[in-house]
């Protein structure tokens, strides 16, 4: 979450996805009928209307997202998240939707029709976030200038002096930005307030010593240096003022009845339709997750019974299923890297994964794209153990960052709990998910897609779903030795993906308590106390995103298995992967239609 000033996920990845996707994209016979009436002139007109000029307007209203996408023409622009800004954006979004809806889907070729659908859902989704969800009112962590400043300072897209002048211009609006943030926040949740305090403290580091050293080393005029000194001081003062204001708010919330972080059934289903874009409902996915949970537990029990004599040669097998699975996982989890080796082991795992993928013809990798493993910057901490920051399509050659939570600040007990969770079998799966062939590889492919719109306005379920699919695909290829231990631990990890959906829906819609949530995570999903603690924090400051893993994974896996049945003797796994990834960050159902259309 950064300076989104009034929208929730307009960034290029993962962007707001599909509202009423089925209305915009035909399926089956309807799609073929549309193809028969498509007009090259209409498709060309759509591309002109929603090409570079449209995107330039869009980025001027979303400058921080533009910078994340590598569009540096607005590097010096920081919009102030006030009512005037929100009104201007609504005006632009509604006018753009009106223009877009003049293009009938049936008049467009399949590629352009899918672009139209993705863009319509992006724009309509932003309107919904502004007018219905309104997290700009109740989520103070929504306001954080750190990310764009950090990108401008560390991405070498231009000479240092050019980048610093962009930073200097943006700095001028930081005091007004935080003044508007304080005016915009009404009735916040306590959980988001506390997250904002933590992450805003990290923003001070971005505008701290490192930036001052860059200014000192650059070829700037005396007047520019003086202005930098003043604006950095003013920006830091504004952030400190915001932190102080948040702490005061937190004290008031502690003694009052603050807004619940739970968003409720109606908002949840609407947000699910926007963010997940599966064509189904959150309730249906929740029911499927409950069924998948039982299937995984049955499989884990079979593996536990097989492995029990090896790890407990002189101990009788417990009668209770959860007890015996938990006991075996607990014993196996003792095998993990040392605390000071955790970060190093992540770095060491990546080349081995790349070699495996190449040797087994799973994907063609572009190893020239830089990936740097780093400790998660403070302004990003508080939600994830690991994450990936990747460049957007406008600057596809820029460095990607694999962020790993630093363990230094954790107590010995909490660090041990985390290390047991990411043990010798599961830590490589984490790296698969975040890097190879997960997010890092998928986003490299996305940036090469000929469809800029489908890459820019990405679907989180496709992105997270691919990363989860990559985990299973790697184990199916034999990675990890095809041992019962590896499959047991993978099943535990996959159970976490499934339980993410159960947890998120259960908490936000069914009012699951913290105690029941931790019972689900620790007792039923065999997660560590530290992992459960962090997951409760995460579900308290996010909604729907935790369902994207299972939603996307199950859709991709189902699609692959269906194609294998339809193409006996002809299905090629590498070709499937590379074609699937060639469509940017589009929703899975969009990719399915495009792939099936090309196969006809």
Taking only the tens place, the pLDDT of each residue in 348-361 is: 999 999 999 999 99
Does residue 86 belong to any structural domain of this protein?
yes
**DSSP 8-state class, residue 339:** G
Query: Number of folded domains in the chain?
Result: 2
Model pTM score: 0.91
Q: What is the DSSP letter of 74?
A: G
Same domain, 475 and 552: yes
- Domain membership of residue 4 (yes or no) is no
Q: Residue range 419-432: average pLDDT?
A: 97
Confidence of residue 369 (pLDDT cuts 50, 70, 90): confident
pLDDT of 120 reads: 96
Tell me: do 89 and 181 sit in the same domain: yes
Place of tokens 């590097």: 75
Q: Alpha-carbon distance 299 to 285, whole Å?
A: 21
Residues 174 and 31 reside in one and the same domain: yes
Q: How confident is the model at residue 248 (pLDDT cuts 50, 70, 90)?
A: very high
Task: Check whether 24 has a pLDDT greater than 60.
Answer: no
Distances (CA, A) of 69 to 41, 52, 155, 442, 563: 29, 14, 12, 15, 33
Could you count the other beta carbons within 10 Å of the beta carbon of residue 259? Answer: 16
pLDDT tens sequence across 46-60? 999 999 999 999 999
Q: Are residues 487 and 576 in the same domain?
A: yes
Q: Which of 227, 259, 291 is the last residue of a domain?
A: 259
What pLDDT digit, counting tens, does each position of 74-127 carry? 999 999 999 999 999 999 999 999 999 999 999 999 999 999 999 999 999 999
Q: Does 452 share its domain with 573?
A: yes
So what's the pLDDT on residue 129? 98
Q: Same domain, yes or no, for 78 and 175?
A: yes
Query: DSSP secondary-structure letter at 388?
Result: E
Residue 327 inside a domain? The answer is yes
Structure tokens at 95: 């006018």
Residues 307 and 182 in one domain: no
Mean pLDDT, residues 544-566 taken together? 97
The sign of the torsion formed by the CA atoms of 391, 397, 398, 403 equals positive
* Same domain (yes/no): 315, 359: yes
Classify residue 277: in a domain, yes or no: no
Q: For all residues of the chain together, what is the average pLDDT?
A: 92
Q: Where are the alpha helices (DSSP H) in 256-375?
A: 265-275, 282-311, 321-332, 342-359
Q: What is the C-alpha to C-alpha distance for residues 271 and 214, in angstroms, rounded to an integer?
A: 42
- pLDDT exceeds 50 at position 299: yes
166 and 313 assigned to the same domain: no
Domain boundary among 195, 228, 259: 259
pLDDT above 80 for 552: yes
Mean pLDDT within 309-326: 97
Relative to beta strand 400-404, strand 371-375 is parallel
Contacts of 496 (CB under 8 A, 6+ apart): 525, 527, 531
Distance (Å, whole) CA 492 – CA 130: 38
Residue 365 lies in a domain: yes
> Is position 491 within any domain?
yes
User: What whole-number distance in Å separates Cα of residue 313 and Cα of residue 311?
Assistant: 6
- In this structure, the number of other CB atoms found within 10 A of the CB of residue 236 comes to 16
Task: Give the confidence band of 433 by pLDDT, cuts at 50, 70, 90.
Answer: very high
Same domain, 245 and 289: no
CB contact set of 517 (below 8 Å; sequence gap of 6+) = 503, 506, 507, 532, 535, 536, 539
Same domain membership, residue 288 and residue 170: no
Domain hosting 226: range is 21-259
Q: Is residue 9 part of a domain?
A: no
**What is the DSSP code string of 505-534?**
HHHHTT---HHHHHIIIIIIT---HHHHHH
Residue whose pair of structure tokens reads 């016979």 in the numeric block: 29
* Residue 265, in any domain of the structure: no
- pLDDT score at 198: 94
pLDDT at 542: 98
Is the domain of 291 the same as that of 244?
A: no
């Amino acid at each position: 979450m950064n300076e989104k000033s009034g929208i929730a996920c307009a960034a290029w990845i993962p962007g707001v996805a599909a509202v009423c996707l089925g209305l915009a994209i035909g399926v089956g016979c309807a799609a073929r009928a549309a193809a028969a009436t498509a007009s090259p002139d209409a498709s060309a007109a759509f591309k002109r209307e929603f090409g570079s000029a449209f995107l330039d307007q869009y980025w001027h209203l979303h400058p921080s997202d533009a910078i994340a996408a590598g569009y540096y023409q607005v590097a010096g622009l920081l919009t102030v998240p006030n009512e005037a800004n929100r009104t201007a954006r609504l005006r632009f979004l509604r006018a753009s939707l009106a223009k877009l809806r003049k293009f009938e889907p049936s008049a467009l070729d399949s590629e352009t029709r899918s672009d139209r659908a993705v863009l319509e859902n992006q724009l309509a989704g932003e309107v919904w976030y502004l007018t219905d969800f309104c997290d700009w009112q109740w989520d103070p962590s929504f306001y954080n200038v750190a990310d764009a400043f950090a990108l401008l300072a560390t991405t070498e897209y231009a000479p240092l002096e050019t980048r610093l002048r962009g930073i200097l211009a943006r700095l001028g609006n930081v005091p007004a930005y935080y003044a508007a943030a304080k005016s915009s926040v009404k009735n916040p949740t306590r959980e988001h307030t506390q997250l904002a305090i933590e992450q805003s403290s990290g923003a001070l580091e971005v505008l701290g010593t490192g930036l001052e050293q860059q200014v000192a080393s650059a070829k700037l005029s005396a007047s520019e240096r003086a202005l930098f000194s003043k604006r950095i001081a003013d920006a830091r003062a504004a952030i400190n003022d915001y932190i102080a204001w948040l702490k005061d708010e937190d004290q008031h919330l502690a003694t009052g009845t603050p807004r619940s972080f739970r968003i409720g059934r109606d908002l949840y289903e609407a947000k699910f339709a926007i963010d997940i874009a599966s064509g189904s409902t959150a309730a249906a996915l929740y029911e499927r997750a409950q069924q998948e949970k039982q299937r995984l537990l049955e499989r884990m029990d079979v593996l536990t019974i097989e492995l029990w004599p090896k790890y407990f040669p002189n101990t009788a097998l417990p009668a209770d299923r959860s007890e015996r699975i938990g006991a075996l996982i607990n014993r196996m989890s003792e095998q993990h890297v040392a605390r000071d080796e955790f970060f190093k082991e992540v770095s060491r795992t990546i080349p081995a994964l790349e070699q495996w993928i190449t040797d087994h013809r799973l994907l063609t990798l572009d190893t020239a794209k830089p990936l740097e493993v780093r400790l998660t910057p403070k302004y990003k901490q508080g939600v994830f153990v690991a994450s990936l920051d990747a460049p957007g399509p406008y600057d596809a050659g820029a460095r990607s960052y694999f962020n790993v939570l630093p363990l230094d600040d954790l107590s010995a007990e909490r660090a041990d709990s985390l290390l047991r969770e990411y043990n010798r079998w599961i830590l490589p799966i984490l790296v698969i998910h975040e890097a190879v062939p997960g997010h890092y590889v998928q986003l490299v492919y996305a940036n090469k897609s000929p469809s800029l719109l489908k890459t820019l306005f990405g679907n989180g379920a496709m992105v997270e779903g691919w990363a989860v699919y990559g985990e299973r695909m790697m184990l199916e290829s034999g990675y990890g030795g095809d041992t019962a231990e590896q499959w047991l631990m993978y099943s535990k990890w996959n159970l976490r993906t499934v339980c993410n959906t159960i947890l998120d829906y259960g908490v936000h819609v069914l009012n699951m308590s913290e105690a029941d949530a931790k019972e689900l995570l620790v007792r039923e999903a065999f997660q560590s106390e530290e992992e459960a603690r962090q997951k409760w924090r995460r579900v308290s400051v996010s909604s729907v995103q935790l369902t994207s893993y299972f939603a996307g994974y199950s859709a991709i896996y189902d699609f692959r298995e269906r194609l294998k049945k339809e193409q006996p003797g002809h299905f090629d796994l590498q070709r499937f992967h590379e074609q699937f990834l060639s469509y940017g960050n589009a929703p899975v159902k969009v990719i399915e239609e495009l792939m099936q259309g090309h196969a006809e």
